[in-house]
Amino acid sequence: MLRHSEARRCVIRLTVGVDASVVLSVDNDGVPEDNDGSASGSGLSGLGERLAALNGTLVTESRAGGFRLTAGVPLPGPSPQRLEVAAV
């Protein structure tokens, strides 16, 4: 963020969803007014590829004077257990 923006404010959130995923969101106010969205680089595409390898997602949103990055990955966990009920 420091390299690619002029942010004065940044909010970082890490949450665990009810769908057994972890979500990281980063919001900042550092998008320059003359930004036309044509910046090149491989940082976000590389991050997206690494998240996809983990069945994760990456969403980026530019809006007037701000930028949001949201990355999500499923949490590892035990295999679903099979429940069997026997009638007596």
pLDDT tens digits along 20-30: 899 999 999 88
pLDDT for residue 63: 82
Q: Where are the domains of the chain?
A: 10-74
The mean pLDDT of the chain is 79
Q: Higher confidence at residue 87 or residue 16?
A: 16
Q: Which CATH number fits domain 10-74: 1.20.1060.10, 3.30.530.20, 3.30.565.10, 3.40.50.720?
A: 3.30.565.10
Specify the long-range contacts of residues 65-69, CB closer than 8 Å, at least 24 apart: 65/29, 65/31, 65/33, 66/27, 66/28, 66/29, 66/30, 66/31, 67/5, 67/27, 67/28, 67/30, 67/31, 68/25, 68/26, 68/27, 69/24, 69/25, 69/26, 69/44
Percentage of the chain lying above the pLDDT 90 cut: 40
- Name the pTM for this structure: 0.71
